[in-house]
Amino acid sequence: MIALTLAEIATAIGGELLSGAPERVVDGSVETDSRLVGEGSVFFALLGEETDGHRFVPNAVQAGAALVITERAVDLPDDARTAQIVVGDGYEALAALAHEVVSRVRAGGALKVVGITGSNGKTSTKNMLRTILEQHGETVAPQGSFNNHVGAPISMLRITHDTRYLVVEMGASGVGHIAKLVSIAEPDTGVVLKVGLAHAGEFGGIEATQRAKSEMVTDLPATATALLNVDDDRVASMRDLTAARVVGFGTSADADYRITGIETDRSGTRFTLTAPPVSQEGDRPTDATRPGPTPPVPDRRASGEPAVPVGRGTDHLPETVDVRLAILGEHHAMNASAALTVAHLWGVPLATGAAALASMTRAERWRMELLQGGPEGVTIINDAYNASPDSTAAALRTLAQIVRPGERTVAVLGEMAELGEFSTEEHDRIGRLVVRLGIGQLVVVGRAALPIHQAATLEGSWDGESVFIEDVDDAVHSVQDMLRPGDVVLVKSSKSAELRFLGDRLGGVTE
């Protein structure tokens, strides 16, 4: 965290400084897990559903915390060098501190902020954009999926006065969550990747999911940019909800940044991305190391004019680049294009961004991760960190696309969590898709995923077979016994189903 006095922190978060000199400066990491606290850290004692962070204040003090922020006074040792601020709501205080830090850094330099949301692809897109931007300036982006009301502010608090780019992944489990994160970070660019059924059980359906995701752009000012996937009608319709300049990306003919020629095989994914003429992006900086502010544009919502300014000049030819990813799956063409587009809008040439992406060997651990350390002649694709109906369907299509003559496809599938009332229907749909794609062998793991097995079994046209196994450990041995040279195996499930560890064991990963 940037250096702030205890008095400045207390003012920013609306808290009462119970102990510590007001002029004392704090600049350590901000943590909500006492096990991560080090010398000089700030520890937020948050009230969780399963535990109370106040219980761990003594651990944080012992670890060298400079400051603890609590919702009630906690007795500290007489010799403790730890200051204490009491607030009414720890989560609100964390958000307020993140907003203060981002505002101060933005005011004092050239910080650019991007927020990324969508039912699928957030983490992969975030990682791709970080890979591009970190070559042009200090870049802060969360590790893993730090995208909720705790993880996102913690990520924001990692910036310094030298940070040029802040990439914020914004997830949600209900309406209003993304709006809160947007109010904290105030993105210069807001990206919406897709509206799907991920977490539909928590949102209450696809319409509620759409409303929640639209929060990324509804409060953006006219000086910002809303980057929308125009291939998704629900996302494309968000152009009418924002005062920001709208830029579209996708395979559609009306996309400003258009994707063509997508190909995928065992070596990765290839496609071509074409940017609009430079004059159409008049607010895009020409120097990637000196990103400038976006000038205001009129609010087209009131006048009824189209939100996307199409064809504003053709002074320069469009910029085109061939992109090669060592990452499996045609759906990653969309994620990579979103990352390339953000960077391009901020002044990074498409060719420079594409070269950076070519260096990536995987989007993220357990996301379409290619493993070949298992049985000889067997390829494992471990994609079992997250799973929704859309991402599972995309992974299955990739499996069918990359198989070579004489090889067998094997799908090991577990539960797609958080689907609520849609769970049985969506698992059933995946089972039938397995059959339609001609997957050679299906293994369904876990009681919650049983409808996949049942649906596949009922498809009479299929000449393959489905096996249901209730226990993950049993599944490891069963799958190992059925594998043969030339098999290409997809392991896919939500994190809670723990099939990622099954995939690691099949692929010979011991870390």
Non-local CB neighbours of 414 within 8 Å, separated by 6+ positions: 384, 387, 444, 445, 446, 448, 449, 492, 493, 494, 497, 498, 499
State pLDDT tens for residues 240-257.
999 999 999 999 999 999
Alpha helices in 200-359 (DSSP H): 200-203, 206-218, 233-236, 300-303, 331-345, 350-357
Residues facing 165 on adjacent strands: 112, 139
What is residue 367's DSSP assignment? Answer: B
pLDDT of res. 204 = 61
Domain extents for the chain? 4-88, 109-305+313-357, 369-506
DSSP structure class, residue 427 = H
Count of CB atoms within 10 A of residue 319's CB? 17
* Alpha-carbon 221 to chain mean position: 23
Highest CATH level, class, for 109-305+313-357:
alpha beta
pLDDT of residue 374: 76
Per-residue pLDDT, 199: 53
Q: In this predicted structure, what is the pLDDT of residue 377?
A: 86
Would you report the helix, strand and coil content of the chain in percent, each value rounded to 5? 35, 20, 40
Which superfamily does 369-506 belong to? Mur ligase, C-terminal domain (3.90.190.20)
CATH of 4-88, one of 3.30.1490.20, 3.40.190.80, 3.40.1390.10, 3.40.50.460: 3.40.1390.10
pLDDT by residue for the chain (511 residues), tens only, comes to: 999 999 999 999 999 999 999 999 999 999 999 999 999 999 999 998 788 999 999 999 999 999 999 999 999 988 889 999 999 999 999 999 999 999 999 998 789 999 999 988 898 999 999 999 999 999 999 876 667 889 899 999 999 999 999 999 998 777 889 999 999 999 999 999 999 765 555 556 778 889 989 999 998 999 999 999 999 999 999 999 999 999 999 999 999 999 999 999 888 999 999 999 864 444 443 333 333 333 333 333 333 333 333 333 334 568 999 999 999 888 899 999 999 999 999 999 999 999 999 999 877 787 888 887 778 889 999 999 889 999 999 999 999 999 999 999 999 999 999 888 889 999 999 999 999 999 999 999 999 999 999 999 988 656 668 999 999 999 999 999 999 999 999 999 999 999 999 999 999 887 6
Taking the CB of residue 452, how many other CB atoms lie within 10 A of it?
A: 31
Task: Output the pTM of the full model.
Answer: 0.84
Distance CA 267, CA 265 (A): 5
CATH topology identical between 4-88 and 369-506: no
pLDDT for residue 285: 37
Q: How many residues does the structure list for the chain? A: 511
Q: What is the pLDDT of residues 103-136, one digit of tens each?
A: 999 998 789 999 999 988 898 999 999 999 999 9
Q: Residue 102, Cβ neighbours under 10 Å: how many?
A: 24
Give me the sign of the Cα torsion angle 322, 327, 330, 336.
negative
Contact 264, 398 (CB under 8 A): yes
Q: Which residues touch 445 (CB under 8 Å, ≥6 apart)?
A: 412, 413, 414, 469, 470, 471, 472, 475, 493, 497, 499, 502
Rounded Cα–Cα distance for residues 317 and 484 (Å)? 52
Q: What is the pLDDT of residue 417?
A: 92
